[in-house]
């Protein structure tokens, strides 16, 4: 493994109602000495139920990057075909969103919210073809 491995969103619908886009990094793993990997959790908050739309201009402010939660560093561990990844969980409220004309126009203070640590498990599966030009890391086909 190189210095970093980026896990990108393929299908944003899998993350609805969070405002992730295809190709965007959801989290990044980095090499550490030993058996664990460092985790950079790139968290987008769920918009308030009464204002579920996020203005595209708000995307830069509606992203919080966490490398620790619950007072501990976020880590990932690979065991055979399984990857265990620590993520941050935050609970923003109305004070963390600026709303105008029925949509979120900016987010604030997300990285200062208390973050709980949650663990997700991933299972290795066969790669699927993501289209032309080798988007799945394979050589393009004629």
142 inside domain: no
115 inside domain: yes
Spatial distance between the Cα atoms of 128 and 24, rounded to a whole number of angstroms: 18
137 inside domain: no
Closest Cα partner for 7 from 139, 137, 138? 137
Closest Cα partner for 9 from 59, 67, 68, 55? 59
86 inside domain: yes
Q: What is the pLDDT of residue 125?
A: 80
Q: What is the pLDDT of residue 133?
A: 46
Domain range holding 118?
4-128
Number of domains in the chain: 1
Which two tokens mark 74?
């976020």
Spatial distance between the Cα atoms of 107 and 59, rounded to a whole number of angstroms: 8
Spatial distance between the Cα atoms of 87 and 91, rounded to a whole number of angstroms: 13
54 inside domain: yes
Contact (CB, 8 A) for 82 and 121 = yes
36 inside domain: yes
Q: What is the pLDDT of residue 139?
A: 41
Rounded to the nearest angstrom, the gap between the alpha carbon of residue 92 and the centroid of all alpha carbons in its chain is: 16
134 inside domain: no
Q: What's the pTM? A: 0.81
Q: What is the pLDDT along the chain (142 residues), one digit of tens a residue?
A: 458 999 999 999 999 888 899 999 999 999 999 999 999 999 999 988 888 889 999 999 999 999 999 999 999 999 999 999 999 999 999 999 999 998 999 999 999 999 999 999 999 887 666 555 444 444 433 3
Q: What is the pLDDT of residue 16?
A: 86
Q: What is the pLDDT of residue 134?
A: 44
38 inside domain: yes
């Amino acid at each position: 493994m190189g210095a970093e491995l980026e896990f990108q969103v393929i299908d944003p619908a899998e993350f609805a109602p969070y405002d992730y886009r295809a190709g965007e990094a959801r989290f990044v793993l980095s090499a550490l000495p030993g058996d664990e990997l460092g985790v950079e959790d790139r968290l987008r908050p769920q918009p308030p139920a009464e204002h579920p739309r996020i203005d595209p201009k708000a995307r830069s402010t509606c992203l919080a990057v966490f490398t620790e939660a619950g007072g501990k560093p976020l880590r990932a561990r690979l065991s055979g075909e399984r990857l265990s990844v620590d993520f941050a969980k935050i609970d923003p409220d109305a004070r963390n969103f600026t709303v105008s004309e029925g949509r979120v126009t900016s987010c604030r203070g997300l990285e200062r919210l208390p973050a709980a640590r949650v663990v997700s498990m991933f299972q290795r599966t066969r790669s699927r073809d993501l289209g032309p030009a080798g988007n799945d890391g394979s050589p393009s086909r004629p």
